[in-house]
Structure 1
Amino acid sequence: MNLLLIEGRKLKRSKLLWILIAAILIMWIPCVLNADVNFDMETEGISPENNFFIQGFMGFAWFLFPASIVVITVLIAQTERKNRGLLKMLSLPVHPGGLCLSKFVILLFLLAAEMLFMVLGYFLSAEAASGLEHYDFSVDVSMVLRTAGLVYLASVPMVALYYMLSVLITSSVFSVGIGLALIVPSVLVMNTKAWFVYPPCYPFRIVTAQMHDLATKMGSFDYELVPWIPAAAVITVLCIVISCIFFGRGEVR
């Protein structure tokens, strides 16, 4: 708890939350300005309001959310490496594994905040688009909250993977480059039988399945909880354990 409080104080002094808010604005403003395209989805059998909702979340789950994770993990790591801050922390009677886990928890908190901003951004954008096009683009609140919750939970293994990369790769340029490169194949991997072993595609798979449920003419795109959940649990635990083992070793050397 003491470590979490320390990390929380560091978070207050950072600009990470403002970065997340800016990313959400970049996400929803084009959706509002181009809201009229949602009326051209009759061939897929999806209503304009459902399409407005799901397209926004698809863009978020495919690129914006994973990219935010990559940037935030690297920024958190680099904050500690400035002025040898991590070496000073490791010189204290603090277990490196505990320090590593506290940073991971703060990372999960930041991403929960981003998901909250995403939900708020949707409701505000739906109201703005409704006024612009004189059509109600709002969907049921429970569907929005359910989708947001599932996307967040599905992102935890991906967060653990990207956090591990930020611990193992001390160079911020290479860490960001590799993290962003892992996002690109997620669309292809998502459609293979082995998708459950690739965490970057988890959130996008969730939202895509939701889109197929909403569109009456697109068929089904279900996902089986087994072997997905066991595989995700193993990947998450493995990444966290590796992060705790190697946390700070590069700086100590």
Structure 2
Amino acid sequence: MNFFELLKIEYMKVKRSKIVPLIFVAPLLVVASGIANLSSYFTPEYTNAWPAMFIQSALVYAYYLLPFSMIVVCVMIAGRETQNNGIQKMLALPVSRYALSLAKSCVLIFYLFMEMVVFFVVFVIAGMVATSTSGITETLPVLYLLKWCVGLFLTMLPCVAAMWAITILFEKPLLSVGLNLLLVIPGILAANTPLWIVYPYCYSGYLVSCSLHDFTKDIAGTAFEIFPFLPCAVLIFALVLIVAVTQFGKKEMK
């Protein structure tokens, strides 16, 4: 059985779960709140109304709603194996447990990607509807939104990998959810310290925070620097992914 077939099997396991409806919840909440306050952005205070609305809406999304939804997705994917001793039956097959864990990690990343696609599409559709009904003449910057969705996806990868590693290490869903929530909540505080670079739970939020000053006259901020962020993020992603892959099913194999 090759890796592509493993991916298909893992995807089929969660295909009928409630993950797909779940990834719509956070984007719909964020976009709805942004559109509801749309008029407040088309004022002299903001230099670019649509980007300003997107950034301020994405702030809560990046710090909390997106990580919260990914925590639930991690638990739901892991939960498919704990039901009816599914993990023991799976490990009995002539397939590497490392490959199985990596396949599950890829499925998790796929759902992260899908949530960002949903966020982009919902924002574009809602923006077009709002533009046509409110008489707003400023064009919706679709390419700008796409660039930021890609940025959120990439900066969330280390965080998602850390969440998955914790989900693997702690079998009890309550423990893994509690610990991940405990790490997500202080993300906005960590982002305001020099240690943000080693705290993957704040990466996406920090990316958005650095852009607030670009659209408002009264808010000062710092630019998001690729270096040394990129090497550190890649290293953290690789380390936590290795932990998740090597620890998956280890207790059951004893």
Distance 1:196 1:41, change over 3 A: farther
- Paired with 1:40 and 1:180, the residues of 2 have a C-alpha distance of 36
The aligned residue for residue 55 of structure 1 is 56
Question: Do residues 5 (structure 1) and 8 (structure 2) align?
Answer: yes
* Selected match of 1:23 from 6, 19, 26: 26
Partners of 1:74 and 1:104 in 2: how far apart? 12
**Alignment match, 1:112:** 113
Q: Is the 8 A contact 1:49 1:136 kept in 2?
A: no
In the TM superposition, 1:159-238 aligns within 5 A as 159-238=160-239
Return the alpha-carbon distance in structure 1 between the equivalents of residues 107 and 14 of structure 2: 8
Distance in 1 separating the partners of 2:50 and 2:247: 47
Percent identical among aligned pairs is 31
Cα distance change on mapping 1:161 and 1:41 into 2, 3 Å: farther
Describe the superposition over 1:203-250 as per-residue Cα deviations: whole angstroms up to 9, x where unpaired: 011112222223344234213222211111111111111111210124
Mapped contact 1:126–1:138 kept (Cα < 8 A): no
Matches within 5 A, 1:64-213: 64-131=65-132, 133-136=134-137, 138-213=139-214
Q: Distance in 2 between matches of 1:157 and 1:76?
A: 18
The list of structure 1 runs, each at least 4 consecutive aligned residues, that deviate by more than 6 angstroms after superposition, is none
Aligned 8 A contact 1:126 1:137 in 2 = no
For the residue of structure 1 that corresponds to 2:210, the secondary structure is: helix
CA distance in 2: counterparts of 1:109 and 1:136, whole angstroms: 36
Unpaired segments of 5 or more residues in structure 1? none
Quote the Cα distance in structure 2 between the aligned partners of 1:12 and 1:64: 22
For residues 170-217 of structure 1, give each alpha carbon's deviation from its aligned partner in whole angstroms, at most 9, with x where no partner exists.
111111111112111111111111211000110011112222223344
The separation in 1 between residues aligned to 2:133 and 2:181, in whole angstroms, is: 35
Q: Which amino acid aligns with 1:81?
A: T
Measured after TM superposition, the shift of residue 47 of structure 1 is: 3.6
The amino acid that maps onto 1:12 is: K
Do 1:53 and 1:139's aligned partners in 2 also have CA atoms closer than 8 Å?
no
**3-state SS of the aligned residue for 1:194?**
helix
- 1-side partners of 2:25 and 2:205: how far apart? 21
| CA-to-aligned-CA distance 1:72-101 (integer Å, 9 cap, x gap) | 011100111111111110011111110000
- TM-score, with structure 1 as normaliser: 0.92
Equivalenced residue count is 251
Q: Calculate the aligned-residue CA RMSD, in Å.
A: 1.8
1:135 counterpart SS class: coil
